Amino acid sequence: MKRYITIMAFILIAATIYPDDATGHSAIFLSMPVGWKNIAVGGCGVAFGGEPIAGWFNPAALQKIEGIDGTSGYSSLALDRWITHVSAGWNINNDAAVGLTWVHADAGQIAGRDVNGDYTEQLKYGQEAIFLTFSKVITSDVSIGVNAKYLQARLSETSTYVAGFDIGIFGETFNDMLGIGLVYQNIGMKYQWNSAEIYGTEHAINSDEEIPSNIRAGAAFHFPNIPIGLTAEIEYHALEEAIPRAGIFAVPLPGATLAAGFDNTLPAFGAGYEYDAGFGTFGVGYALRFEREGLPPRHSFDITVRF
């Protein structure tokens, strides 16, 4: 009975955790954007930094933050799913930067049922990602970065974990108007599941679930005389899926930002505001991203603190 419940739970989660062309990949939440601005510009982020969450997209771009920054956010998705994140970063004398990010993806109300279709229990599911990011200036215009990352997944009574790395490079040219980024993510990572907690040691089954690596490359351009920027990038998965993204952002008033974009043809919009209190800056932001198959859109809320 438990075998049937576990198999059905895997099928349900794989089919619903990310309703996009990339459905079914292991740890697919790693490809989902976090941070309201990055979501609003179509999920782009490899070619511009300035936020502590920059390491999620390109560890080298963390170098763009100023001082000590922190951010936290919550995203509500269709099918009773949600993502939360907390991130902090510190720029060290404009020569290096370090950051720490925690992201939690969850799906609630997963009903376990037996072979007769009768309800048995609520299945617990969740995935965690913890990133330690380090970025270092190589020349005045180029920085490199690395993420040391830890992932953990839990499904009902079974759990697994894995460690891995991301590496990235970020550069600016044309008087810092053009940013270019390249990152290689999820290097050599795979979940290793063991069913001993369900079936006992004698009948346990081991299963490897590879987490596909991916490459992201992109550019961001800031116009010199008007407060508008453009960004575009492409993500290539090891499973031969190319995902294009593009967005535009503007600062119509001091502290206010508007953004819009497309994530693989899915439109997204957002707005944020930051208030300078003298001793620090405090901000809020909201993003709306539409989903496929007529599912309700994703709503994301963020708060930011800068010192």
pLDDT band of residue 18 (cuts 50, 70, 90) is: very low
The pLDDT of residue 76 is above 50: yes
Residues 116-129: tens digit of each pLDDT? 667 666 667 788 99
Tell me, what's the pLDDT at 240? 63
Tell me, what's the pLDDT at 204? 56
| Residue 166: closest CA among 193, 141, 135 | 135
CA-CA distance, 165 to 167, in Å (whole number)?
Answer: 7
Cα 158 to Cα 108, 125, 206, 262, 288: the distances in Å are 17, 10, 11, 37, 34
**140 Cβ contact list (under 8 Å, min separation 6):** none
pTM of the model: 0.85
Tell me, what's the pLDDT at 125? 74
Domain ranges of the chain: 2-306
Across 177-189, average pLDDT: 93
**283 Cβ contact list (under 8 Å, min separation 6):** 255, 272, 273, 274, 275, 302, 303, 304, 305, 306
The pLDDT of residue 256 is above 80: yes
- Hey, is 64 helix, strand or coil? helix
| Residue 49: closest CA among 65, 36, 69, 34 | 65
Tell me, what's the pLDDT at 63? 93
Residues 260-278: tens digit of each pLDDT? 999 998 999 999 999 999 8
Across 60-80, average pLDDT: 91
CA-CA distance, 109 to 1, in Å (whole number)?
Answer: 19
CA-CA distance, 218 to 79, in Å (whole number)?
Answer: 31
CA-CA distance, 175 to 224, in Å (whole number)?
Answer: 9
The pLDDT of residue 170 is above 80: yes
pLDDT band of residue 144 (cuts 50, 70, 90) is: very high
Residues 32-68: tens digit of each pLDDT? 899 999 999 999 999 988 889 999 999 999 999 989 9
Across 147-176, average pLDDT: 88
Cα 253 to Cα 171, 226, 283: the distances in Å are 28, 12, 14
Look-up: residue for tokens 């600016």? 172
* CA pseudo-torsion sign 191, 217, 169, 133: negative
> Is residue 169 a contact partner of residue 209, using CB atoms and an 8 Å limit?
no
CA-CA distance, 188 to 93, in Å (whole number)?
Answer: 33
The size of the chain, in residues, is 307
| 2-306: CATH number | 2.40.160.60
CA-CA distance, 285 to 272, in Å (whole number)?
Answer: 4
Residue type, 202: E
| Residue 157: closest CA among 122, 202, 192 | 122
Residues 217-245: tens digit of each pLDDT? 999 999 988 999 999 999 997 666 788 99
Please state, rounded to an integer, the average pLDDT across all residues of the chain.
Answer: 84
The pLDDT of residue 2 is above 70: no
Dihedral, 52, 145, 128, 292 alpha carbons, nearest 10: 80
